[in-house]
C-alpha cells in the first residue's frame, strides 16, 4: 500500500514537472517572438557585382532592439539587386552595400553615383609593382614639361579609388598582380585631368594608406630642384681700408746697380825734343 502511494506521488511530480517545463518553454518562446525581428542575411559569400537571388539568402531572428539600419526582412525585396560591396556568409544585407534598383551586374554597378570610371595604361613601375589592387587608393602623378620647356613631375589627383585591374574587380585578393591597365573611379573633372595628363606626359600611380584622407597640394619638382647644390657660404665683409690696401699694386724694391768697372789702360810717355806725347796700349 505504501509503495503504491509513493509511486503515485512520484508520477504526479513527474507530470507536474513536465507541465512546468512546457509552460516555461511556451512563455520563453512568446517572449522571444515579442522581442525579435526578421533580418535577411547572406547564405553564402556574395561577390562584388553579383546579382542576388533567393537561394543566396536566408531569414533569421534578430533582436528587435538591435536591427541594423538599412536591413531587409523580406527576401523578395532583394531579388535581382546587385552587390556593390562584398558580403560574407551570415552578414546582414544592407542597402548601402547594394547598387540602385534596376542596375545590372558587372563593373557599372560598382561606380558610385556622380562618379565615372576611366582606365589608365600601366606597367610594373607605373602600377606600383602590382600592389594597386581593386579597393586600394592611389595618387596620380604626371611627368611632363612646364611652360619653360623644363621637365616637371607633380601629383595632380589625390586619393583615387581603384575599381579594377585588367578585367578583375575582386577586392579579396592581396597578392600583387602586374597588369597592363587599371580602372579608376573619378569625378568628371578628374577624368578630364587624367585624359589631358596622359596626352602630354607619362602617368604614375602612388599607392597610399586607405585610411589616410589628407589631400596634399604640391608645386611639383623640376630638374633644378632635383640637382640643386648646397648654397655657398658668403665671405665676411672686408673693411674699406683693408680692401684699398689689397687693391694697391705692390712694387718691389729693385737693388741699385753697381758702378761700371773701367779697365786700366797702359800708357807710354814719349819725349821728342821739346814735345811730349802719350800713347795708350
Q: Which SS3 state, helix, strand or coil, does residue 108 take?
A: helix
- Cell (9 digits) for 136: 586600394
pLDDT at 63: 87
Question: Residue 164 burial (CB < 10 Å; 0-12/13-18/19+)?
Answer: buried
Instruction: Give residue 149's pLDDT band: very low, low, confident or very high (50, 70, 90).
Output: confident
Distance CA 239, CA 244 (A): 9
CA nearest 60: which of 45, 75, 70? Answer: 75
Distance CA 251, CA 256 (A): 15
pLDDT at 272: 65
pLDDT tens for each residue of 183-227 = 999 999 999 999 999 899 888 888 898 888 888 888 888 887 877
- Give residue limits of the domains in the chain: 37-108, 115-226
Half-sphere exposure of residue 39: CA atoms within 13 angstroms, side-chain side = 21
CA nearest 92: which of 168, 54, 40? Answer: 40
In this structure, is the dihedral angle defined by the CA atoms of residues 215, 217, 223 and 228, taken in order, positive or negative?
negative
Indicate the class that CATH gives domain 37-108.
Answer: alpha beta
In sequence order, what are the beta bridge partners of 120?
182
Q: Which SS3 state, helix, strand or coil, does residue 52 take?
A: coil
Compare 263 and 159 and report the one with higher pLDDT.
Answer: 159
Residues 223-252: what's their mean pLDDT? 64
257 backbone dihedrals φ, ψ, rounded to 5°: -75, 140
Cβ of 68: how many Cβ atoms within 10 Å?
14
Is 70:40 a contact under the CB 8 Å cutoff?
no
pTM beyond cutoff 0.75: no
Q: Which SS3 state, helix, strand or coil, does residue 141 take?
A: strand
Amino acid at each position: 500500500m505504501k509503495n503504491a502511494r509513493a509511486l503515485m506521488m512520484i508520477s504526479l511530480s513527474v507530470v507536474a514537472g513536465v507541465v512546468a517545463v512546457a509552460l516555461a518553454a511556451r512563455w520563453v518562446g512568446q517572449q522571444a517572438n515579442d522581442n525579435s525581428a526578421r533580418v535577411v542575411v547572406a547564405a553564402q559569400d556574395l561577390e562584388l557585382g553579383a546579382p542576388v537571388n533567393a537561394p543566396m539568402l536566408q531569414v533569421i531572428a534578430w533582436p528587435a532592439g538591435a536591427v541594423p539600419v538599412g536591413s531587409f526582412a523580406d527576401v523578395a525585396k532583394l531579388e535581382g539587386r546587385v552587390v556593390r560591396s562584398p558580403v560574407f556568409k551570415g552578414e546582414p544585407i544592407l542597402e548601402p552595400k547594394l547598387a540602385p534598383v534596376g542596375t545590372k551586374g558587372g563593373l557599372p554597378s560598382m561606380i558610385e553615383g556622380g562618379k565615372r570610371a576611366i582606365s589608365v595604361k600601366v606597367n610594373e613601375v607605373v602600377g606600383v609593382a602590382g600592389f594597386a589592387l581593386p579597393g586600394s587608393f592611389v595618387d596620380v602623378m604626371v611627368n611632363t614639361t612646364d611652360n619653360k620647356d623644363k621637365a616637371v613631375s607633380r601629383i595632380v589627383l589625390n586619393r583615387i579609388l581603384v575599381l579594377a585591374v585588367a578585367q578583375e574587380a575582386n577586392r579579396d585578393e592581396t597578392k600583387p598582380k602586374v597588369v597592363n591597365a587599371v580602372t579608376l573611379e573619378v569625378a568628371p573633372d578628374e577624368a578630364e585631368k587624367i585624359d589631358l595628363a596622359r596626352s602630354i606626359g607619362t602617368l604614375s600611380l602612388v599607392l597610399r594608406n586607405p585610411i589616410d584622407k589628407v589631400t596634399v597640394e604640391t608645386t611639383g619638382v623640376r630638374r633644378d630642384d632635383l640637382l640643386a647644390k648646397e648654397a655657398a657660404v658668403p665671405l665676411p665683409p672686408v673693411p674699406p681700408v683693408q680692401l684699398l690696401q689689397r687693391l694697391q699694386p705692390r712694387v718691389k724694391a729693385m737693388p741699385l746697380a753697381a758702378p761700371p768697372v773701367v779697365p786700366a789702360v797702359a800708357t807710354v810717355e814719349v819725349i821728342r825734343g821739346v814735345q811730349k806725347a802719350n800713347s795708350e796700349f
